Protein backbone atom coordinates (compact mmCIF):
# COMPACT_ATOMS: atom_id res chain seq x y z
CA UNK A 1 0.00 0.00 0.00
CA UNK A 2 1.18 3.53 -0.71
CA UNK A 3 3.04 5.12 2.20
CA UNK A 4 0.77 8.18 2.20
CA UNK A 5 -2.52 6.27 1.94
CA UNK A 6 -4.92 5.45 4.80
CA UNK A 7 -7.87 3.19 3.99
CA UNK A 8 -10.73 3.27 6.46
CA UNK A 9 -11.06 -0.23 8.05
CA UNK A 10 -14.65 -0.67 6.84
CA UNK A 11 -13.54 0.14 3.27
CA UNK A 12 -10.47 -2.11 3.48
CA UNK A 13 -12.59 -5.03 4.71
CA UNK A 14 -15.09 -4.56 1.89
CA UNK A 15 -12.34 -4.42 -0.74
CA UNK A 16 -10.65 -7.52 0.65
CA UNK A 17 -13.95 -9.39 0.55
CA UNK A 18 -14.73 -8.28 -3.00
CA UNK A 19 -17.75 -6.25 -1.91
CA UNK A 20 -18.87 -3.11 -3.77
CA UNK A 21 -17.27 0.19 -2.73
CA UNK A 22 -18.00 3.67 -4.11
CA UNK A 23 -15.56 6.57 -3.82
CA UNK A 24 -16.83 10.11 -3.17
CA UNK A 25 -15.09 13.46 -3.56
CA UNK A 26 -14.70 16.10 -0.85
CA UNK A 27 -14.47 19.33 -2.86
CA UNK A 28 -18.26 19.35 -2.86
CA UNK A 29 -18.08 19.42 0.96
CA UNK A 30 -15.56 22.23 1.40
CA UNK A 31 -16.06 24.25 -1.79
CA UNK A 32 -19.37 23.21 -3.35
CA UNK A 33 -21.92 23.97 -0.65
CA UNK A 34 -22.28 26.12 2.48
CA UNK A 35 -22.36 24.83 6.06
CA UNK A 36 -24.40 22.93 7.23
CA UNK A 37 -25.89 21.70 3.93
CA UNK A 38 -22.46 20.42 2.91
CA UNK A 39 -22.15 18.03 5.88
CA UNK A 40 -25.82 17.02 5.67
CA UNK A 41 -25.42 16.21 1.98
CA UNK A 42 -22.19 14.26 2.54
CA UNK A 43 -23.89 12.07 5.16
CA UNK A 44 -27.00 11.65 3.00
CA UNK A 45 -24.89 10.53 0.04
CA UNK A 46 -23.06 7.97 2.17
CA UNK A 47 -26.43 6.71 3.49
CA UNK A 48 -27.73 6.40 -0.08
CA UNK A 49 -24.75 4.26 -1.06
CA UNK A 50 -25.28 2.00 1.95
CA UNK A 51 -29.00 1.71 1.14
CA UNK A 52 -28.00 0.38 -2.29
CA UNK A 53 -25.71 -2.28 -0.85
CA UNK A 54 -22.27 -0.69 -1.20
CA UNK A 55 -19.71 0.85 1.16
CA UNK A 56 -18.99 4.60 0.78
CA UNK A 57 -15.41 5.88 0.75
CA UNK A 58 -15.30 9.66 0.92
CA UNK A 59 -11.84 10.81 -0.17
CA UNK A 60 -9.80 13.72 1.19
CA UNK A 61 -6.34 14.72 2.38
CA UNK A 62 -6.11 15.28 6.14
CA UNK A 63 -2.84 16.10 7.82
CA UNK A 64 -0.94 15.04 4.72
CA UNK A 65 -2.59 11.61 4.62
CA UNK A 66 -4.60 10.45 1.59
CA UNK A 67 -7.84 9.19 3.07
CA UNK A 68 -9.96 6.56 1.32
CA UNK A 69 -12.95 6.72 3.63
CA UNK A 70 -13.65 9.38 6.26
CA UNK A 71 -15.06 9.21 9.76
CA UNK A 72 -18.04 11.41 10.67
CA UNK A 73 -15.88 13.91 12.57
CA UNK A 74 -13.52 14.22 9.61
CA UNK A 75 -16.40 15.08 7.27
CA UNK A 76 -17.67 17.68 9.74
CA UNK A 77 -14.15 19.10 10.06
CA UNK A 78 -13.91 19.66 6.28
CA UNK A 79 -17.46 21.02 6.14
CA UNK A 80 -16.88 23.61 8.87
CA UNK A 81 -13.46 24.63 7.57
CA UNK A 82 -14.98 25.22 4.14
CA UNK A 83 -12.97 27.08 1.55
CA UNK A 84 -10.05 27.42 3.97
CA UNK A 85 -9.25 23.85 2.91
CA UNK A 86 -7.08 23.61 -0.21
CA UNK A 87 -8.98 22.57 -3.32
CA UNK A 88 -6.74 19.65 -4.23
CA UNK A 89 -6.22 18.36 -7.76
CA UNK A 90 -3.43 16.10 -9.10
CA UNK A 91 -0.70 18.75 -8.88
CA UNK A 92 -1.50 19.54 -5.23
CA UNK A 93 -1.30 16.06 -3.70
CA UNK A 94 2.52 15.77 -3.43
CA UNK A 95 2.87 19.14 -1.69
CA UNK A 96 -0.03 18.49 0.71
CA UNK A 97 1.44 15.11 1.64
CA UNK A 98 4.94 16.55 2.12
CA UNK A 99 3.68 19.45 4.27
CA UNK A 100 1.14 17.48 6.27
CA UNK A 101 -1.72 19.73 5.17
CA UNK A 102 -5.41 19.26 4.38
CA UNK A 103 -7.06 19.07 0.97
CA UNK A 104 -10.58 18.64 -0.39
CA UNK A 105 -10.16 16.40 -3.42
CA UNK A 106 -11.49 17.28 -6.86
CA UNK A 107 -12.64 14.64 -9.35
CA UNK A 108 -9.05 14.20 -10.58
CA UNK A 109 -7.51 13.81 -7.12
CA UNK A 110 -10.34 11.54 -5.95
CA UNK A 111 -9.75 9.27 -8.94
CA UNK A 112 -6.06 9.04 -8.04
CA UNK A 113 -6.73 8.08 -4.42
CA UNK A 114 -9.51 5.67 -5.43
CA UNK A 115 -7.17 3.90 -7.86
CA UNK A 116 -4.43 3.69 -5.21
CA UNK A 117 -6.92 2.08 -2.83
CA UNK A 118 -8.31 -0.32 -5.45
CA UNK A 119 -11.73 1.33 -5.75
CA UNK A 120 -13.13 1.18 -9.30
CA UNK A 121 -16.33 3.25 -9.07
CA UNK A 122 -16.69 6.89 -8.08
CA UNK A 123 -19.82 9.06 -7.76
CA UNK A 124 -19.76 12.84 -8.03
CA UNK A 125 -22.02 15.73 -9.03
CA UNK A 126 -20.49 16.98 -12.26
CA UNK A 127 -17.00 16.77 -13.71
CA UNK A 128 -14.85 19.73 -14.66
CA UNK A 129 -14.19 20.32 -18.32
CA UNK A 130 -13.28 22.87 -20.94
CA UNK A 131 -14.26 26.32 -19.68
CA UNK A 132 -16.06 28.83 -21.86
CA UNK A 133 -13.47 30.96 -23.63
CA UNK A 134 -10.80 28.26 -23.31
CA UNK A 135 -9.64 29.02 -26.85
CA UNK A 136 -7.97 32.10 -25.33
CA UNK A 137 -7.56 31.19 -21.65
CA UNK A 138 -6.57 27.50 -22.04
CA UNK A 139 -8.66 26.83 -18.92
CA UNK A 140 -9.24 23.07 -19.11
CA UNK A 141 -9.93 20.98 -16.03
CA UNK A 142 -7.42 18.33 -14.95
CA UNK A 143 -10.46 16.05 -14.51
CA UNK A 144 -10.40 15.35 -18.25
CA UNK A 145 -6.74 14.33 -18.26
CA UNK A 146 -7.35 12.09 -15.24
CA UNK A 147 -10.18 10.33 -17.04
CA UNK A 148 -7.68 9.59 -19.81
CA UNK A 149 -5.07 8.09 -17.50
CA UNK A 150 -6.74 6.56 -14.41
CA UNK A 151 -8.97 3.42 -14.66
CA UNK A 152 -11.98 4.51 -12.60
CA UNK A 153 -15.64 4.62 -13.65
CA UNK A 154 -16.98 8.09 -12.84
CA UNK A 155 -20.75 8.50 -12.46
CA UNK A 156 -21.88 12.12 -12.76
CA UNK A 157 -24.74 14.30 -14.00
CA UNK A 158 -22.67 15.44 -16.98
CA UNK A 159 -20.18 18.26 -17.12
CA UNK A 160 -21.12 21.33 -15.10
CA UNK A 161 -23.25 23.56 -17.29
CA UNK A 162 -20.99 26.52 -16.54
CA UNK A 163 -18.60 24.89 -19.05
CA UNK A 164 -18.37 24.59 -22.82
CA UNK A 165 -20.05 21.20 -23.18
CA UNK A 166 -19.27 20.73 -26.87
CA UNK A 167 -15.53 21.30 -26.41
CA UNK A 168 -15.53 19.11 -23.30
CA UNK A 169 -16.91 16.20 -25.32
CA UNK A 170 -14.40 16.85 -28.11
CA UNK A 171 -11.55 16.76 -25.59
CA UNK A 172 -12.76 13.47 -24.11
CA UNK A 173 -13.07 11.98 -27.59
CA UNK A 174 -9.50 13.00 -28.39
CA UNK A 175 -8.33 11.32 -25.20
CA UNK A 176 -10.27 8.14 -25.98
CA UNK A 177 -12.55 8.32 -22.93
CA UNK A 178 -15.88 6.50 -23.50
CA UNK A 179 -18.85 8.68 -22.49
CA UNK A 180 -22.00 6.79 -21.53
CA UNK A 181 -25.50 8.17 -21.21
CA UNK A 182 -27.49 6.31 -18.56
CA UNK A 183 -30.91 5.64 -20.06
CA UNK A 184 -30.34 8.55 -22.46
CA UNK A 185 -28.71 9.21 -25.83
CA UNK A 186 -27.99 12.83 -24.93
CA UNK A 187 -25.42 14.36 -22.61
CA UNK A 188 -27.16 15.76 -19.53
CA UNK A 189 -26.13 19.29 -18.54
CA UNK A 190 -25.92 18.99 -14.76
CA UNK A 191 -28.94 21.13 -13.71
CA UNK A 192 -30.94 20.05 -16.76
CA UNK A 193 -31.51 16.72 -18.51
CA UNK A 194 -30.66 17.90 -22.03
CA UNK A 195 -27.78 19.69 -23.73
CA UNK A 196 -28.16 19.07 -27.45
CA UNK A 197 -24.99 16.92 -27.53
CA UNK A 198 -24.89 13.16 -28.03
CA UNK A 199 -22.98 10.56 -26.01
CA UNK A 200 -20.81 7.67 -27.23
CA UNK A 201 -23.10 4.89 -26.04
CA UNK A 202 -26.21 4.29 -23.96
CA UNK A 203 -26.57 1.93 -20.98
CA UNK A 204 -30.04 1.10 -19.73
CA UNK A 205 -29.10 -0.81 -16.58
CA UNK A 206 -26.31 -0.91 -13.97
CA UNK A 207 -25.41 -4.39 -15.24
CA UNK A 208 -24.92 -3.09 -18.79
CA UNK A 209 -22.75 -0.22 -17.54
CA UNK A 210 -20.67 -2.53 -15.34
CA UNK A 211 -20.12 -4.94 -18.25
CA UNK A 212 -18.83 -2.12 -20.47
CA UNK A 213 -16.40 -0.93 -17.81
CA UNK A 214 -15.24 -4.49 -17.07
CA UNK A 215 -14.55 -5.00 -20.79
CA UNK A 216 -12.58 -1.76 -20.92
CA UNK A 217 -10.40 -2.88 -18.02
CA UNK A 218 -9.95 -6.34 -19.55
CA UNK A 219 -8.72 -4.68 -22.75
CA UNK A 220 -6.02 -2.97 -20.74
CA UNK A 221 -7.10 0.60 -21.38
CA UNK A 222 -5.12 2.96 -19.13
CA UNK A 223 -7.95 5.42 -18.55
CA UNK A 224 -11.42 5.53 -17.10
CA UNK A 225 -15.00 5.74 -18.28
CA UNK A 226 -17.54 8.51 -17.80
CA UNK A 227 -21.19 7.71 -17.11
CA UNK A 228 -23.53 10.70 -17.36
CA UNK A 229 -26.74 10.25 -15.39
CA UNK A 230 -29.52 12.84 -15.93
CA UNK A 231 -30.86 14.71 -12.91
CA UNK A 232 -34.29 13.31 -11.88
CA UNK A 233 -37.08 14.94 -13.88
CA UNK A 234 -38.75 16.55 -10.88
CA UNK A 235 -35.57 18.39 -9.91
CA UNK A 236 -34.49 19.45 -13.39
CA UNK A 237 -34.34 23.23 -13.85
CA UNK A 238 -35.72 25.31 -16.71
CA UNK A 239 -32.82 25.53 -19.23
CA UNK A 240 -33.64 29.17 -20.03
CA UNK A 241 -33.49 30.17 -16.35
CA UNK A 242 -30.30 28.30 -15.49
CA UNK A 243 -28.51 29.32 -18.69
CA UNK A 244 -29.33 32.99 -18.12
CA UNK A 245 -27.95 32.75 -14.58
CA UNK A 246 -24.80 31.01 -15.83
CA UNK A 247 -24.23 33.59 -18.57
CA UNK A 248 -24.49 36.40 -16.02
CA UNK A 249 -22.19 34.64 -13.55
CA UNK A 250 -19.57 33.97 -16.24
CA UNK A 251 -19.66 37.62 -17.34
CA UNK A 252 -19.22 38.78 -13.75
CA UNK A 253 -16.27 36.42 -13.21
CA UNK A 254 -14.54 37.93 -16.25
CA UNK A 255 -15.25 41.47 -15.08
CA UNK A 256 -13.84 40.69 -11.64
CA UNK A 257 -10.75 38.94 -13.03
CA UNK A 258 -11.47 35.64 -11.29
CA UNK A 259 -9.20 32.87 -12.57
CA UNK A 260 -7.91 29.36 -11.91
CA UNK A 261 -9.27 27.34 -9.00
CA UNK A 262 -11.49 30.20 -7.89
CA UNK A 263 -13.62 30.19 -11.05
CA UNK A 264 -15.86 27.17 -10.39
CA UNK A 265 -16.66 27.96 -6.71
CA UNK A 266 -17.47 31.56 -7.70
CA UNK A 267 -19.74 30.53 -10.56
CA UNK A 268 -21.61 27.91 -8.53
CA UNK A 269 -22.15 30.32 -5.63
CA UNK A 270 -23.28 33.12 -7.94
CA UNK A 271 -25.66 30.83 -9.86
CA UNK A 272 -27.14 29.75 -6.52
CA UNK A 273 -27.77 33.42 -5.64
CA UNK A 274 -29.26 34.22 -9.04
CA UNK A 275 -31.63 31.24 -8.92
CA UNK A 276 -32.80 31.91 -5.38
CA UNK A 277 -31.22 28.71 -4.08
CA UNK A 278 -32.90 26.42 -6.61
CA UNK A 279 -29.56 25.34 -8.08
CA UNK A 280 -28.32 24.13 -4.67
CA UNK A 281 -31.44 22.02 -4.16
CA UNK A 282 -30.99 20.51 -7.63
CA UNK A 283 -27.29 19.92 -6.95
CA UNK A 284 -28.07 17.89 -3.82
CA UNK A 285 -30.66 15.73 -5.59
CA UNK A 286 -28.46 14.94 -8.58
CA UNK A 287 -25.60 13.87 -6.30
CA UNK A 288 -27.92 11.48 -4.44
CA UNK A 289 -29.16 10.12 -7.77
CA UNK A 290 -25.60 9.52 -8.96
CA UNK A 291 -24.66 7.81 -5.69
CA UNK A 292 -27.51 5.34 -6.07
CA UNK A 293 -26.51 4.45 -9.64
CA UNK A 294 -22.83 4.16 -8.71
CA UNK A 295 -23.63 1.80 -5.84
CA UNK A 296 -25.85 -0.38 -8.03
CA UNK A 297 -23.14 -0.47 -10.71
CA UNK A 298 -20.41 -1.30 -8.19
CA UNK A 299 -22.60 -4.17 -7.02
CA UNK A 300 -22.91 -5.49 -10.57
CA UNK A 301 -19.18 -5.04 -11.15
CA UNK A 302 -18.42 -7.08 -8.03
CA UNK A 303 -20.33 -10.01 -9.57
CA UNK A 304 -18.16 -10.10 -12.71
User: SS3 for 152?
Assistant: coil
Distance CA 50, CA 64 (A): 28
List 156's β-bridge partners, or say none.
Answer: 228
Distance CA 185, CA 282 (A): 22
Whether the Cβ atoms of residue 236 and residue 262 lie closer than 8 Å to each other: no
Q: What is the dihedral of CA 23, 29, 32, 36, to 10 degrees?
A: 140
Phi-psi map region of 35: left, alpha, beta (phi>0 left; psi -120 to 50 alpha) = beta
175 catalytically annotated: no
Distance CA 98, CA 65 (A): 9
Distance CA 115, CA 154 (A): 12
186 catalytically annotated: no
Instruction: Enumerate residues 6+ apart whose C-beta is below 8 A from 111.
Output: 23, 122, 146, 147, 150, 152, 154, 224
Catalytic residue among 8, 87, 160, 272: 160
* CA dist list (Å): 22 to 15, 41, 152: 10, 16, 10
User: Looking at residue 89, what DSSP letter applies?
Assistant: -
Catalytic residue among 8, 25, 87, 146: 25
Got the DSSP string for 245-298?
HHHHHHHHHHHTT--GGGHHHHHHHHHHHHTTTHHHHHHHHHHHHHHHHHHHHH
Whether the Cβ atoms of residue 291 and residue 7 lie closer than 8 Å to each other: no
Read off φ and ψ for residue 264, nearest 5 degrees: -60, -50
Q: What residues are annotated to the active site?
A: 25, 160
Amino acid sequence: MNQYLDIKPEVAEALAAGKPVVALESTIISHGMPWPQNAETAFAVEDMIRAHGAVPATVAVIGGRLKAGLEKDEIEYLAKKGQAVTKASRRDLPVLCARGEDGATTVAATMIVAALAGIGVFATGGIGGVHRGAETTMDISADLEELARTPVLVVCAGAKSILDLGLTLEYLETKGVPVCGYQTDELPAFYTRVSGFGVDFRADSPAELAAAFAAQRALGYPGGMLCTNPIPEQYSMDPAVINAAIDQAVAESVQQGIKGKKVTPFLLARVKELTGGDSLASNIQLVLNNAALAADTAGELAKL
